[in-house]
Chain A
Amino acid sequence: MWSQTIRRLSTSALTRVRHPKLRRSTHYATLTDKDVSFFERLLSSGRTITNPDECLPFNIDYIKSCQGQSQLVLRPKTVDEVQAILRYCNEHQLAVCPQSGNTGLSGGSVPVFDEIILSLRLLNSIGNFDENSGVLTTDAGCVLEKLDTHVRQYGHIMPIDLGAKGSCLIGGNVATNAGGLRVVRFGSLRSAVLGLEVVLPDGSLLDCLTSIRKDNTGIDLKQPFIGSEGILGIVTRVALACPSLMSGVGLGFFACSSFEQILSTMRLARKICGETLSAIEFLDESTYNLSLKYLQRTNKPIESNKFYILIETMSSTDEQAKATLEKLATTALEKEFVTDGTLAQDLTQYKDIWAIRERVSDALVADGYVFKYDFSLPTSRMYKLVEETEERMKQFSNVGNVTGFGHLGDQNLHLNVTVKDGYSDDIKQALEPWLYEWVAKEHGSVSAEHGLGLHKSKYLELNKGKHSLELMKQMKHMFDPKCILNPYKVLPYKID
């Protein structure tokens, strides 16, 4: 409880202080009283925030890695208001930082300097669900968990599920092509987005909000916006295809003595659980121990070991979901792939076991400053990187934990290093660019699902090459010639 209070009160160092090489571009105007009056007239009562204390939470990101200095937070309630805001900012060359749930992990959701924050949180009417097509049309500011509860009434679920579901908004999920726990079953969010309504940087509205599944007519204009992290336009409404609710669920949690055994278990799960497989996650020992410590769990679900794998099955009946999982458990034990395990016996155990994986981000923040990395790597090489990082960190006495965990089924490793007494530049230099170069050599991705935001934009060329980067810049210029939307992020920013 006390540690939670400390966490809430603590802030981060200002981004401009931590990244001295970044400079505010002279291209942008500075906010004047005249501007503030315009916005106060546009947005009625209390939806324009100028008080510095009230602006503070909007200026800091979820993992406290950056803090901007915005002096103005705008909270539009309608698409018209969003359009009016952008029209004005475009005309007056004011930089805007669009903000959804502010749960992003790459520093992309908060201002770098004094960009105006445009919060989508009040664009939150849930909209229509078509029972025949399973398509949900909704405002960008709706909380993911609320949408999930809503479509469950109709026997459907949201196509993504992530640890931040209670706080993240669907607009931000789409803008970052959020991944999450069920990609292995439902694919990426991109495949579920059927339509988008986007406000472009000049204030004009791009209506691609079809809610039909098939539409091969011309160039699919909504695609670039998915995963664009707010640099091309602001998503205001989304049409999503929602999968059917599977009432049968099974959850197995197993311990293995080596990463090879984890991989053997994963391959076995694919074979035995087949179409019922819905999640494959792994954690290493330090992740598991940190998570249990944070959750204050004295009751260990299984005997400790070096690695842990979580397998979830979903089917139309409980019997089917549990049957494939039990067969997996028996076989994995016989073949000695796993040394111990447990199968959730009721919903409470199901939630408790999932919490061990879902609350890892919180557990890490409680352990100190977190250097967070999210890589796609060939599965067999994934843990080698964690081991080499551990070796490299041995020289620093203030390193807390080097942890590896993630979406094993998607070849996605989350590598996190915690530092006991706050941010350390020395440790940062030891980790970057070494980690990114290691990943680039393996032809992986420098950011599997967390996006580039502020922290990783400089590694875009390493991952995609010069030519792709050029074309991306041209597209950015086409949509946002005045470059007012979410500047300094995603595409590498050259200091003039």
Chain B
Amino acid sequence: MAIRILVGVKRAIDYAVKVQVKTDKSGVVTEGVKHSMNPFDEIAVEEAIRLKEKKVAQEVIALSCGPAQCQETLRTALALGADRAIHVEVTGKDYEMLQPLAISKLIAAVAKKENVDLVLLGKLAIDDDSNQTGQMVAGLLSWPQAVFASKVDIKDKTAEVMREIDGGSETLRVKLPAVITSDLRLNQPRFANLPSIQKAKKKPMAKMSPKDLGVDIKPHQEYLSYEEPPKRQGGGRVASVDELISKLKEKGLI
């Protein structure tokens, strides 16, 4: 029986943009800055589409939580091959304070509601680098998890996943339903082609609120300040080994 997949996509500041911290240290500048789909989510979408092409999956649902602009990101997912989209609308201050735990609760609620067999997410988002959502979704649903996937094989409701870990890789076998998060080497995402971009405009996009899902998105953490990393100090040059030794002694290193 072909499975049904829920893929999470996040609208984040584009990978190629040079991020600037706001002068009041309350966050980063997002106004007028280019946003696009989180690169790890692109990889997750690509994997879901490939599973559909292999006839392992019969339906791919794209999900995003955030303001109206998320619909653009969802349209991209549809253009890449997802069948339908769900937009959980969170705006203004609520969106600014939306944190991984709340997002995990929303994803878990949708996964249950849509009765999916697999939740595919990017391993982390390049804006907050949290790397928590996938793991927490699995915890909330009490589903097995295989994170940092670099290879996924699904057969008979079982997934064999090769994971990137420190020192190499590890292969896990998990029973579906499960949560898998994508790592960089899982695949190379495709370009959305024109006919798909046109078709995507007609694919269904449902809108709902956290309340509809019975989820409380209240934040549990407060961000105190955002700062740029300290500027790298230039190195110095020495003219001889003796000078090197005396400089090292000066700095109390030898």
Interface residues, chain A, with chain B CB atoms under 8 Å away = 247, 254, 298-299, 301-303, 318, 326, 329-330, 333, 338, 340-343, 345-349, 351, 353
Whether a CB of chain A sits under 8 angstroms from the CB of B76 is: yes
| Most-contacted residue by chain A among B16, B37, B197 (CB, 10 A) | B197
> Which of B32, B34, B39, B194 makes the CB contact (< 8 A) with A342?
B194
> Which chain A residue lies CB-closest to B17?
A347
> Which chain A residue lies CB-closest to B39?
A348
Whether a CB of chain A sits under 8 angstroms from the CB of B14 is: yes
> Which chain B residue lies CB-closest to A334?
B198
Whether a CB of chain A sits under 8 angstroms from the CB of B191 is: yes
Please tell me if the beta carbons of B14 and A347 are within 8 angstroms of each other in the complex: yes
A329 CB, nearest partner CB in chain B, Å: 6
B34 CB, nearest partner CB in chain A, Å: 6
Please tell me if the beta carbons of A345 and B194 are within 8 angstroms of each other in the complex: no
Please tell me if the beta carbons of A333 and B17 are within 8 angstroms of each other in the complex: no
Nearest 6 Cβ contacts at the A-B interface = A346-B36, A347-B16, A341-B194, A301-B191, A342-B191, A347-B14
Please tell me if the beta carbons of B191 and A299 are within 8 angstroms of each other in the complex: yes
By a CB distance below 8 angstroms, the chain B residues around A254 are 194
Interface residues, chain B, with chain A CB atoms under 8 Å away = 14-17, 32, 34, 36-37, 39, 76, 79, 188-195, 197-198
With the chains together, A349 CA to B191 CA distance in Å?
8
By a CB distance below 8 angstroms, the chain B residues around A329 are 194, 197-198
Would you list 12 pairs from A and B whose C-beta atoms are within 8 A, ordered by A residue? A247-B32, A330-B198, A333-B198, A340-B193, A341-B193, A345-B36, A345-B191, A346-B15, A347-B17, A347-B36, A348-B14, A348-B39
B63 CB, nearest partner CB in chain A, Å: 18
With the chains together, A302 CA to B195 CA distance in Å?
11
> Which chain B residue lies CB-closest to A338?
B194
Please tell me if the beta carbons of A302 and B193 are within 8 angstroms of each other in the complex: yes
By a CB distance below 8 angstroms, the chain B residues around A247 are 32
Main secondary structure of the interface of A (DSSP, over half): mixed
By a CB distance below 8 angstroms, the chain A residues around B14 are 346-348
> Which chain A residue lies CB-closest to B35?
A346
> Which chain B residue lies CB-closest to A317?
B32
Given contacts A247-B32, A348-B39, whether A342 and B17 have CB atoms under 8 Å apart is no
By a CB distance below 8 angstroms, the chain A residues around B17 are 347
With the chains together, A299 CA to B80 CA distance in Å?
14
Please tell me if the beta carbons of A347 and B15 are within 8 angstroms of each other in the complex: yes
| Most-contacted residue by chain B among A303, A345, A351 (CB, 10 A) | A345
B10 CB, nearest partner CB in chain A, Å: 13
By a CB distance below 8 angstroms, the chain A residues around B15 are 346-348
B77 CB, nearest partner CB in chain A, Å: 10
Please tell me if the beta carbons of A343 and B16 are within 8 angstroms of each other in the complex: no
Please tell me if the beta carbons of A343 and B32 are within 8 angstroms of each other in the complex: no
By a CB distance below 8 angstroms, the chain A residues around B39 are 348
By a CB distance below 8 angstroms, the chain A residues around B193 are 302-303, 340-342
With the chains together, A348 CA to B42 CA distance in Å?
12
Please tell me if the beta carbons of B76 and A345 are within 8 angstroms of each other in the complex: yes
B190 CB, nearest partner CB in chain A, Å: 7
With the chains together, A318 CA to B193 CA distance in Å?
20
With the chains together, A338 CA to B37 CA distance in Å?
27
Given contacts A318-B34, A345-B76, A346-B37, whether A333 and B194 have CB atoms under 8 Å apart is yes
> Which chain A residue lies CB-closest to B15?
A348
With the chains together, A160 CA to B198 CA distance in Å?
34
B188 CB, nearest partner CB in chain A, Å: 5
By a CB distance below 8 angstroms, the chain B residues around A333 are 194-195, 198
By a CB distance below 8 angstroms, the chain A residues around B198 are 329-330, 333
> Which chain B residue lies CB-closest to A346?
B36
> Which chain A residue lies CB-closest to B197?
A343
Please tell me if the beta carbons of A298 and B188 are within 8 angstroms of each other in the complex: yes
Please tell me if the beta carbons of A345 and B16 are within 8 angstroms of each other in the complex: no
A145 CB, nearest partner CB in chain B, Å: 15
Please tell me if the beta carbons of A302 and B191 are within 8 angstroms of each other in the complex: yes
B31 CB, nearest partner CB in chain A, Å: 11
With the chains together, A254 CA to B34 CA distance in Å?
24
With the chains together, A329 CA to B76 CA distance in Å?
15
With the chains together, A351 CA to B16 CA distance in Å?
9
By a CB distance below 8 angstroms, the chain B residues around A353 are 191
B20 CB, nearest partner CB in chain A, Å: 12
By a CB distance below 8 angstroms, the chain A residues around B192 are 342-343, 345
With the chains together, A353 CA to B193 CA distance in Å?
13
By a CB distance below 8 angstroms, the chain B residues around A318 are 34
| Most-contacted residue by chain B among A254, A326, A338 (CB, 10 A) | A326
